[in-house]
Structure 1
Amino acid sequence: MPRVVDHRQRRDELVDAVWQLIIEHGLPGATIRAVAERSGWSSGAVRHYLPTREAILDAAAQRVGAVIEQRVRAVDPSAPPLEVLAGILIAVLPTDESSRRASEVWLAFVGQAVSDRAIADAQGILYRDLNQLLVEVLTQVTTLGYEVDGGPDAAAAELQALVDGLTVHVLLGRVEPVRAEDVLRAAVRRLVVSAT
């Protein structure tokens, strides 16, 4: 009887190896050969799931997006609007092992994107998804009797820049996650105020 292979699990194992290589060596360290060595698989087996370096990097970036999306989806949408907004931002911060690893991989993409247009485009997807969500939430709060300083687009850009910067500082150990959360809550209270 042929052995049943769980292809999703095997691909996930490879992406785990990719993430570890990126965390240790940056994006240049994530090659098919290095993934094969790290995972203990043959290069041919790796190529079956991740046929090119671009596919390796795409899989790593998609996993970053999935981790953040899962954390954002865990925010209680029935909470008061400002808590929802702050919760979304806090969900992006590296506050546990999974989100810390995701943030380390994200930061490697950001660093490489400065000089690599293709990486910048892939990184842009991660930026656009969060930005779009923030604009939507900020637009929605204006329909609930709140004023957004500078409008939803400007406030979303400011909040996203703040959470990106805080993420870097948390990763570097310069800011404690709890302090970063407080800073984000304060920024939300400053930018979004009751119109009444």
Structure 2
Amino acid sequence: MPKIVDHEERRAEVLEATWRVIATRGLDAATVRQIAKEAGVSSGVLAHYFADKDDILVQAHRLAYDRVFRRVEEKIGRSTGIEALRATLYETLPMDENRRIEAVIDINYIGRALNDPRLKLVRQESAQVARGWWLGVLTSTAAGGHLAVDTNLELLVDQILVFIDGISLQSVLFPDLMTPELQKRLADDLIARIRA
């Protein structure tokens, strides 16, 4: 009897293997051969699911962003208010090993996107999705009266995105300095300045 393969699960396994290769060896080392080896499959299996290496990288990037959004939804559900906003901010920062790997991957993509128009476009699309997502989070928080009345939500979205990118970069480059404890203190300070 032939083995039944869950194609979505297999794709996710390959993309997770891609993340591991990028996190440990860098984006340039993420060759089809190396990704296949890390995933425990043949290069032919990758060709069945992805058009080429760039397609693998693009899909891995999109899945990483999607997982952040899903993780936040699982953590806070439909909660609103300042504590839900704090929990959301914590979940987007590299405070544990899995989130640190997400930061390493994103920083690798940013570096590569400088000279790769396709990855640059994908990164811009991800940033737009994140912008819209954060605007929704902040709009809910403000509607409940939890943010200072004069808060410019669109400006705050940009501040939060720069905050996350900056902490992520610092955490990857200087992990002994940008510790999870410091990340929490910085996030708490940001929340204290914007709360009602």
Match of 2:153 in 1: 152
After the TM superposition, which residues 41-120 of structure 1 pair with which residues of structure 2 at under 5 Å, given as runs? 41-76=41-76, 79=79, 81-120=81-120
- Partner of 1:41, secondary structure, is coil
Q: By how many angstroms is 1:162 displaced?
A: 0.9
Tell me how far apart the structure 2 counterparts of residues 40 and 80 of structure 1 sit (CA, whole Å): 42
Deviation at 1:37, TM superposition (A): 3.5
TM-score normalised by structure 2 residue count: 0.86
Task: Give the TM-score normalised by the residue count of structure 1.
Answer: 0.86
Which amino acid in 2 is paired with 1:147? A
State the superposition RMSD in angstroms.
2.2
**Partner AA of 1:181 in structure 2:** K
The letter of the residue matching 1:160 is L
User: Partners in 1 of 2:188 and 2:141 — Cα distance?
Assistant: 15
Supply the AA of the counterpart residue of 2:62: Q
Tell me which stretches of 4 or more aligned residues in structure 1 moved more than 4 Å. Answer: 77-80
Residue of structure 1 in register with 2:162 after alignment = 161
Contact 1:139 1:152 in 2 (8 A): yes
Equivalent AA in structure 1 for residue 45 of structure 2: A
Unaligned runs of 5+ in 2: none
Q: Give the Å deviation of 1:131.
A: 1.7
More displaced stretch, 152-161 vs 56-65: 56-65
| CA 98–15 in structure 1, closer or farther in 2 if over 3 Å, else same | same
1:170 paired with 2:171, answer yes
Of 35-44 and 107-116, more deviation after overlay is shown by 35-44
The one-character-per-residue Cα deviations of 1:51-85 (angstroms, maximum 9, x if unpaired) are 21222112211221132112211342565611122
For residues 94-113 of structure 1, give each alpha carbon's deviation from its aligned partner in whole angstroms, at most 9, with x where no partner exists: 22232222221111111212
Q: Deviations over 1:101-129 (max 9, x none)?
A: 22211111112122222111111233222
Residue identity in the other structure for 1:68: V
TM-aligned CA deviation for residue 47 of structure 1 = 0.4
What number of residue pairs does the alignment pair up? 193
What is the aligned partner in structure 2 of residue 186 from structure 1? 189
- C-alpha distance in 2, partners of 1:164/1:148? 26
Give how far 1:164 is off. 1.5
For the residue of structure 1 that corresponds to 2:148, the secondary structure is strand
Percentage of identical aligned residues? 25
2:58–2:119: 8 Å Cα contact kept in structure 1?
A: no
Name stretches of at least 5 consecutive residues in structure 1 with no aligned partner. none
Matched position secondary structure for 2:76: coil
